[in-house]
Amino acid sequence: MKDMMDSIEQTVIDILARQAVLDPSDIATGDRLDALGIDSLGMVETIFAIEETFDISVPFNANEQNGGGLDLTTVASLIEAVHALTGETVA
């Protein structure tokens, strides 16, 4: 199961790196997505890529208060959301 979690984290970072035109090694889990240069359109594209890659559905208003309970503001929170939506628990 640890390998699956590492795989999810690395895949999310890879998706973010493509969207932000950065090397994955330049992205830390504590980074805010807006600080990486991912604006609202970039976030939509990122969510589409995550949904397609992991075969999950991210609620449309997930990042809004009372809109699904997912925090999509940092790399770590996005990884945590993917874990939750895929049913994988974070150790």
Q: What is the mean pLDDT of residues 13-32?
A: 96
For residue 86, pLDDT over 70 is answered with yes
Mean pLDDT across the chain, nearest whole number? 85
pLDDT digits (tens, 9 = 90+) for 29-67: 999 999 999 998 999 999 999 999 999 998 766 555 444
Residue 88 burial class via C-beta count within 10 angstroms: exposed 0-12, middle 13-18, buried 19 and up: middle
CATH code that applies to domain 2-86 = 1.10.1200.10
Domain ranges of the chain: 2-86
pLDDT score for 68: 60
